[in-house]
């Protein structure tokens, strides 16, 4: 039988997996946004699309670069979860 502690452990591991796998893309978006903001401040250009297009391209490149690693992290979590499934039923 699954206990409250088991549910909390599964939820904690799921949240940790989400944070670890999304961190590279969030950092890329943050850095590109900061660079674009500094560029806009220096040049006094206030175009809204100037911030979104480079972020989208950078995140897309980040997905191409970090995608296999992110998939591996998530696959390992799901494999571990399904492997322990019989423990939660008994």
State residue 2's pLDDT score. Answer: 85
State residue 71's pLDDT score. Answer: 97
State residue 11's pLDDT score. Answer: 95
State residue 46's pLDDT score. Answer: 82
Its pTM stands at: 0.82
Q: Which residue spans within 1-90 are E strands per DSSP?
A: none
User: Please, what is the end-to-end C-alpha distance for the chain in angstroms?
Assistant: 5
Cβ atoms of 20 and 73 within 8 Å: the answer is yes
How far, in Å, are 7, 16, 18, 67 from residue 85 at the CA level?
12, 19, 20, 27
- Domain extents in the chain: 4-89
In tens digits, what is the pLDDT along the chain, a chain of 90 residues?
A: 888 998 999 999 999 999 999 999 999 999 999 999 999 989 988 887 888 999 999 999 999 999 999 999 999 999 999 998 888 776
């Amino acid at each position: 039988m699954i206990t409250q502690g088991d549910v909390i452990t599964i939820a904690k591991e799921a949240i940790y997996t989400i944070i670890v796998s999304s961190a590279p893309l969030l950092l890329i978006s943050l850095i590109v946004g900061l660079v674009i903001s500094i560029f806009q401040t220096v040049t006094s250009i206030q175009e809204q699309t100037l911030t979104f297009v480079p972020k989208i391209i950078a995140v897309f490149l980040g997905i191409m670069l970090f995608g296999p690693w992110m998939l591996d992290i998530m696959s390992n979590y799901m494999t571990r979860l399904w492997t322990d499934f019989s423990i939660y039923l008994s």
